[in-house]
Amino acid sequence: MFKKLFLALLAMCFTASLYASSERPSVPSGTTQLSDQLMRIEGAAIRVCAFSEKSPASSNTAGYLTIKNDSDKPIELVGVQFAQRVESFSKTIELHTHVMEGHNAKMMPVKSFVIPAKGELKLQPGKDHIMFINVTKPLKIGDTFLLTLTFKKGDQTFTKDAYFAIKSNEDLAKKQCGCCKKKKAA
Task: Summarize as ranges the residues that interact with Cu ion (CB under 5 A).
Answer: 96, 107, 131
For Cu ion, the closer of residues 107 and 139 by Cβ is 107
Q: How far is the CB of 137 from Cu ion (least distance, A)?
A: 19
Q: How far is the CB of 89 from Cu ion (least distance, A)?
A: 16
For Cu ion, the closer of residues 39 and 131 by Cβ is 131
For Cu ion, the closer of residues 129 and 153 by Cβ is 129
Q: How far is the CB of 55 from Cu ion (least distance, A)?
A: 18
For Cu ion, the closer of residues 19 and 132 by Cβ is 132
Q: How far is the CB of 25 from Cu ion (least distance, A)?
A: 29
Q: What's the burial of 175, exposed, middle or buried (CB within 10 Å: 0-12/13-18/19+)? A: exposed
For Cu ion, the closer of residues 18 and 180 by Cβ is 180
Q: How many CA atoms lie within 13 A of 54 on its CB side?
A: 3
Amino acid at 55: S
